[in-house]
Amino acid sequence: MLALAPLLASLGGVAIHQNAVLLFGHPREASATETERVVVPLTALDEHDQPVLDLHKEDIHVIEHKRECEVESLVSRASQPLSVGLLIDVSNSQRGRRPPGYEHTISMFLRKSLANNGMAFVAAFNDKQYLVADLTRDISKLHAAVHSALSSSSGGTALYDAIYVAFHNEPSTSNSRNVLVVFSDFLDNASEHTREEAVQSALRSHTIIFPVAFGQVAQRGLAAAKALAIETGGSYFSVDSNAALEKIASSMAGLYDLTVSPVPASRHRVFHRVKIECDREGVKVIAPAAYYTP
């Protein structure tokens, strides 16, 4: 059975512990004014899944507890820097599942993602979590990290722990957009944390999760992947690697920051369940099923 020690040694990677502070989180204290307004990531796509770049706040309605929230602003993030995390399952279950060209396709996706001064990191997980390449703009370092992460498969699958640790911090104050692309069969069998805890951790840092699976996925894994996407405002892909990553890269151009004011009765709640709709014909919006207030 192959271990990840050679992978980490070759890139200076380190094991990630459960209490680590990582990647997208930036500690801060929220003021009373800030807690009365929340920013929710939203993606707008047309009927052909191409980004919609001219959406207005008047097109959007946010419903919470059967009452409409005030939409204060809707700002396109198309020209803003992007922070992308690649979280790669290197457990035993991934052995032999990766399609031809997988590594090259991921590298091309990274190159697109680093436009507008974006940054990316590469992490791997089995029953532990490993930071293979920290946030960087160095594409050669990221390519090497992807190659190394894909060179071994061993151990169990602690998917939810990996997601939870990546975001377990206070909400981010960064102006960058945060996206996590997860490659797995989504059959967690080793996590201490639940899916709900992983989702809440992502919501706290305003991060969208795009689950990507290749080949046949068991029903339990399919349900878990779809839930991660729906709850955080991402999309699930079970197609070939080229199509999946091209669609993710394209949809990122349709990202917006939606600023809303919670309904008065819910302002002291931490996690708020909402329904976000768009009035414009031919436009679909993808947004988290909940938002977080500090």
- For the stretch 189-246, pLDDT in tens is 999 999 999 999 998 888 899 999 876 788 999 999 999 999 999 999 876 656 788 8
- Global pTM? 0.85
pLDDT-derived band at 65 (thresholds 50, 70, 90) equals: confident
Q: Provide the pLDDT for residue 223.
A: 95
Pairwise CA distance, residues 285 & 290, whole Å: 14
Pairwise CA distance, residues 152 & 149, whole Å: 7
Task: Give the three-state DSSP class for 125.
Answer: strand
Q: In what order do the strands lie in the sheet with 284-286?
A: 275-278, 60-64, 67-76, 255-261, 38-45, 284-286
pLDDT-derived band at 256 (thresholds 50, 70, 90) equals: very high
pLDDT: which is higher, 12 or 128: 128
Residue 267: phi and psi, rounded to 5, are -70, -15
Pairwise CA distance, residues 9 & 174, whole Å: 31
Q: What is the mean pLDDT of residues 136-152?
A: 92
Q: What is the mean pLDDT of residues 51-75?
A: 95
Percent of the chain with pLDDT over 90: 53
- CATH T-level topology, domain 5-15+81-253: Rossmann fold (3.40.50)
pLDDT-derived band at 168 (thresholds 50, 70, 90) equals: low
Residue 68 backbone zone (phi > 0: left; psi -120 to 50: alpha; other: beta): beta
- The per-residue pLDDT of the chain, averaged, comes to 82
Pairwise CA distance, residues 138 & 136, whole Å: 5
Domains of the chain, residue spans: 5-15+81-253, 33-78+254-292
Number of neighbours of residue 117 by Cβ within 10 angstroms? 10
Q: Provide the pLDDT for residue 267.
A: 63
Q: What is the pLDDT of residues 113-133, one digit of tens each?
A: 887 788 999 999 999 999 999
Q: What is the mean pLDDT of residues 38-48?
A: 93
Pairwise CA distance, residues 258 & 245, whole Å: 25
For the chain, the residue count is 294
Q: What is the mean pLDDT of residues 63-92?
A: 92
Listed range (46-50, 72-76, 106-110, 167-171) with the worst mean pLDDT: 167-171
Pairwise CA distance, residues 192 & 205, whole Å: 21
Task: Give the three-state DSSP class for 135.
Answer: strand
Q: Provide the pLDDT for residue 242.
A: 67
pLDDT: which is higher, 85 or 3: 85
Q: Provide the pLDDT for residue 26.
A: 39
